[in-house]
Chains A and B, each alone.
Chain A
Amino acid sequence: MDLSFSAEEEAFRGEVQAFLKEKLRPELSAKMKLGGAPSKAEMEEWHALLNERGWLANHWPKEYGGAGWTPVKKFIFELESELAFAPRIVPFGVSMLAPVLIKYGSDAQKKHWLPRILDGSDWWCQGYSEPGAGSDLASLKTSAVREGDHYIVNGQKAWTTMAQHADMIFCLVRTSKEGKRQEGISFLLIDMKTAGIDVKPVITIEGGHEVNEVFFTDVKVPIENLVGEENKGWTYAKYLLTYERTNIAGIGGSIALLGHLKQAARKRKKHGKPLLDEPYFAARVARVEIALENMKTTNLRVLADVAAGGAPGAESSLLKIKGTVIYQELTSLMRRAMGAYAAPYFPEAADEGFNGQVGPDEALHAAEDYFNHRKLSIFGGSNEIQRNIVSKMMLGL
């Protein structure tokens, strides 16, 4: 691929658009468009539709029930889905755990867990971070001690997204205190219903509940739930972190939000004229639009590189930094465009049938969206850590 898509890829794009048009419920995309978060039922509904079409695990090899898409096809699919305001595929099972199982899991593990990810039997969450181990993940302390045919797990995970919905958690645990810190870490699959697991909700600044603390007290985990070899978990975790990060910039989401913002700012009047015509505001919108167009080309360059056989290394850091900054600026502009209409506080606005809003529909989630998306530059390796990676890997500093 060059910086444009081939005829075949363009045809594929049409196929994706047709699918979205046919299958995506207008009410669901309308809700997503206004910045609402999908409920668990809505995520399950979307996963089921994708799975039916064979597109859920689109990047898995075909032999495991995947579609075997190239990164380019995957990119096109994600771009179009975001443009249509479809829910995102929940990454934990499909995109984070599965690639590790496929590469490092035993046959029995692959046979058991992969189909359950596809049909939605298991919802997964990611148990990496701990209160003391965030950016410095290798300092994690949650321990797993072998006793007969079980591990006994003790410790605490932090910031576990969707743990409240999850059936299973994949965890990094310490199995050895010898040698380098990275060399005593193992990758364990743990059933959330096991005795000794306690999930405590953590409310974020916008009032939502998406993250949790997960406590482990003498939790018994069968040894067959160890992935790969003991003390090699760091290698697997790192593999996961570099895997398929070519859409980390979330270009589609930003393009969609920009369109939405412009529409809203055209409707809102300032001194009788559309807000979008106001030079101060228009300049900010123009600046972010230029950055976004620019980002799209950069993203295509990275994809072209991958298509030619390169692996996305530190380039994914570049995509993450630029992509999250753009998205955050867009949520900020949306909030600004709504003015005080974005200030009302309605934690109940996510509920069905809520009708207490003030101001236009676009205002409803504008503030919540802005506050919640402060997380983009913190999680998945903070933007500071990404810059450290760029300095080291790309610049040799």
Chain B
Amino acid sequence: MEILIEDHQMLLNSATGYLAKKQSVAAFRALRDGDEPLGYDATAYRQMADLGWMGLVLPEEYGGSDFGYRAAGLIAEQMGRNLTAMPFVSTAILSATILREIGGDMLTEWGMKIAMGECVVALAIDEGAKHRPGQIKTQAVRDGDGYLLSGDKSFIADGMGADRLIVSAMLEGELTLFWLDPLEACFGTSCCDIAPQKLLDHRNYASFYIKNCRLNENTLIAKGEVAEKALAKALCAGRAVVAAEQLGMAKECAARTVEYLNTRKQFGVLIGVFQTLQHRMAHLYCEIEQTSSLVAQALNAIDENAEECEKLSRAAKAKVAKLGKLATEEAVQMHGGIGMTDELDLGLFMKRDRVLTEFLGDAACHIEWLLREQKI
């Protein structure tokens, strides 16, 4: 049902081919079982950059391809289908979008590095169990020509081993973004430390606390309205691209379930002949198609810089949370006992889905925003 422009179709084809071969669910499982501390394969990260995926939303003069967010969503969807673990959303979407919005020397220097797959940049905004980017407790104060930073951040995707962290804080009552080099921050001392957070999806997450950590003048990359705008755009992009990833996961769970209904026999027949299961799969199919439309619409709106991109990205993230739950629960249920096992991949999808639902805000968070801001 998808109608794609030629460039997107080519990109999609290369993504399906590459991921199936190099970054399938089996590759993720190997990472998990090997307890790989980074949570991803650094060599594959470079390959992904060679394919041009890290620079999809960066302008051409900074090493990117400027293919845009819809294209990035197509890649994310395939990553979802394969449970590919890569610092794609953290670096190529969230951080790259912030750099792009800010522009200037930062973009010149770091845009290129991101596009080349030479660095990982993680966004540190969350401070507790729920995503509340607008309620930040982390504080910065001026200290001579620099700043002193204090606060806690948690659930930082790809935060361990990241080359840089973009940290949100309040300075003089205004939202401010700092560009933190973990090697220069005082991590490891008694007042500041960074530690891995092991989540259900076995990816790379970090949390840190920091107290009066001294930062140089040039670590402040945006403040006030500039910071607000850059973060808002990045979050729109992040929500829509994560929604695409979750959509891919839902599609994969549905596809695997259809296949199972066509192979598993009980009572002498394929279980797929039972109408109750057929109708539920049909319902899931409809939900997947509806969600696909919404995700595509949100991604297009971001590409077009349309005003409704915030509304649409939130709606998409909320909708996909429901879809992901439905798809993974139905998949497990229709597989019966085998669906409950770690050996089958469905549990991996289910756990990743729940983590992504919380990441960048759950359905309630976005529905509430829609009710409040849109006066529905």
Residues of A participating in the B interface, judged by any CB pair closer than 8 Å: 129, 132, 134-136, 139, 158-159, 202-207, 211, 268, 270, 278, 280-281, 332, 335-336, 338-346, 358-359, 363, 367, 371, 374-375, 377-379, 382-384, 387
Chain A residue numbers with a CB within 8 Å of B77 are none
A362 to chain B, nearest CB (A): 11
Chain B residue numbers with a CB within 8 Å of A383 are 333
> Would you call B362 an interface residue if the criterion is a C-beta within 8 Å of the partner chain's C-beta atoms?
yes
Task: Among A136, A204, A342, point to the contact of B342 (Cβ < 8 A).
Answer: A204
Chain A residue numbers with a CB within 8 Å of B265 are 132
- Contact indicator A358/B336 (Cβ below 8 Å): no
**Which of B20-28, B37-45, B298-306, B348-356 sits within the interface?**
B348-356
> CA–CA, A217 to B268, complex, Å?
26
> CA–CA, A274 to B339, complex, Å?
36
B350 to chain A, nearest CB (A): 6
- Contact indicator A384/B274 (Cβ below 8 Å): yes
> CA–CA, A126 to B333, complex, Å?
22
- Contact indicator B336/A343 (Cβ below 8 Å): no
- With contacts A136-B267, A374-B333, A379-B337 known, is A339 near B200, CB below 8 A? no
- Contact indicator A136/B266 (Cβ below 8 Å): yes
Residues of B participating in the A interface, judged by any CB pair closer than 8 Å: 126, 128-131, 154-155, 197-202, 207, 265-268, 274, 276-277, 325, 329, 332-333, 336-337, 339-343, 346-347, 350-351, 354-355, 358-359, 362, 364, 367-368
- Contact indicator A339/B341 (Cβ below 8 Å): no
**Which A-chain residue is minimally distant from B333 (CB atoms)?**
A377
A-B CB proximity, top 4 nearest = A205-B347, A339-B129, A136-B266, A203-B342
B23 to chain A, nearest CB (A): 21
- Contact indicator B364/A204 (Cβ below 8 Å): no
Main SS class of interface, A: mixed
> CA–CA, A136 to B274, complex, Å?
13
> CA–CA, A358 to B195, complex, Å?
12
**Which B-chain residue is minimally distant from A158 (CB atoms)?**
B337
- Contact indicator B277/A205 (Cβ below 8 Å): no
Chain B residue numbers with a CB within 8 Å of A345 are 198-202, 351
- Contact indicator B337/A268 (Cβ below 8 Å): no
- Contact indicator A374/B332 (Cβ below 8 Å): yes
Q: Determine which residue in B276, B332, B364, B367 has the highest number of CB atoms from chain A within 10 A of its CB, and name it.
A: B364
> CA–CA, A134 to B336, complex, Å?
8
Chain A residue numbers with a CB within 8 Å of B130 are 270, 339-340
Chain A residue numbers with a CB within 8 Å of B126 are 340
B271 to chain A, nearest CB (A): 8
**Which A-chain residue is minimally distant from B345 (CB atoms)?**
A205
- With contacts A341-B129, A343-B200 known, is A387 near B276, CB below 8 A? yes
Chain B residue numbers with a CB within 8 Å of A375 are 340
> CA–CA, A363 to B130, complex, Å?
13
> CA–CA, A346 to B197, complex, Å?
10
- Contact indicator B351/A344 (Cβ below 8 Å): no
> CA–CA, A344 to B346, complex, Å?
19
- Contact indicator A378/B346 (Cβ below 8 Å): no
- With contacts A204-B340, A374-B340, A384-B276 known, is A340 near B155, CB below 8 A? yes
Chain A residue numbers with a CB within 8 Å of B342 are 203-205, 207
**Which B-chain residue is minimally distant from A136 (CB atoms)?**
B266
- Contact indicator A135/B266 (Cβ below 8 Å): yes
Chain B residue numbers with a CB within 8 Å of A278 are 364
A384 to chain B, nearest CB (A): 6
- Contact indicator B266/A378 (Cβ below 8 Å): no
A-B contact pairs, 16 of them (CB 8 A): A134-B336, A139-B266, A205-B346, A205-B351, A280-B368, A281-B364, A336-B364, A339-B128, A340-B130, A345-B198, A345-B199, A345-B351, A358-B207, A359-B129, A363-B129, A374-B333
- With contacts A135-B267, A136-B267, A338-B129 known, is A202 near B341, CB below 8 A? yes
B353 to chain A, nearest CB (A): 11
- With contacts A280-B364, A384-B276 known, is A205 near B341, CB below 8 A? yes
Chain A residue numbers with a CB within 8 Å of B268 are 136, 139
B272 to chain A, nearest CB (A): 13
- Contact indicator B198/A346 (Cβ below 8 Å): yes
B201 to chain A, nearest CB (A): 8
Chain B residue numbers with a CB within 8 Å of A342 are 354
- With contacts A135-B266, A335-B354, A378-B340 known, is A344 near B333, CB below 8 A? no
Task: Among B200, B274, B329, B362, point to the contact of A344 (Cβ < 8 A).
Answer: B200
> CA–CA, A339 to B359, complex, Å?
10
- Contact indicator A382/B341 (Cβ below 8 Å): no
B146 to chain A, nearest CB (A): 31
> CA–CA, A139 to B347, complex, Å?
28
Q: Determine which residue in A158, A278, A345, A346 has the highest number of CB atoms from chain B within 10 A of its CB, and name it.
A: A345
- Contact indicator A358/B200 (Cβ below 8 Å): no
B123 to chain A, nearest CB (A): 15
B273 to chain A, nearest CB (A): 13
> CA–CA, A15 to B364, complex, Å?
44
B368 to chain A, nearest CB (A): 7
- With contacts A134-B266, A134-B336, A205-B346 known, is A339 near B199, CB below 8 A? no
- Contact indicator B354/A343 (Cβ below 8 Å): yes
Chain A residue numbers with a CB within 8 Å of B355 are 340, 343
> CA–CA, A278 to B276, complex, Å?
35
> CA–CA, A274 to B258, complex, Å?
42
> CA–CA, A335 to B329, complex, Å?
15
- With contacts A159-B337, A202-B343, A374-B340 known, is A367 near B354, CB below 8 A? yes
> CA–CA, A288 to B131, complex, Å?
26
Chain B residue numbers with a CB within 8 Å of A335 are 354
A234 to chain B, nearest CB (A): 15
Chain A residue numbers with a CB within 8 Å of B198 are 344-346
- Contact indicator B350/A371 (Cβ below 8 Å): yes
Chain B residue numbers with a CB within 8 Å of A205 are 332, 340-342, 346-347, 350-351
Chain B residue numbers with a CB within 8 Å of A134 are 266, 336-337
> CA–CA, A135 to B265, complex, Å?
10
**Which B-chain residue is minimally distant from A341 (CB atoms)?**
B129
Chain A residue numbers with a CB within 8 Å of B329 are 374
Chain A residue numbers with a CB within 8 Å of B336 are 134-135, 378, 382
> CA–CA, A280 to B371, complex, Å?
11
Q: Determine which residue in A135, A270, A343 has the highest number of CB atoms from chain B within 10 A of its CB, and name it.
A: A343
Chain A residue numbers with a CB within 8 Å of B128 are 339-340
A354 to chain B, nearest CB (A): 13
Chain B residue numbers with a CB within 8 Å of A132 are 265
B206 to chain A, nearest CB (A): 12
Chain B residue numbers with a CB within 8 Å of A363 are 129
> CA–CA, A134 to B337, complex, Å?
8
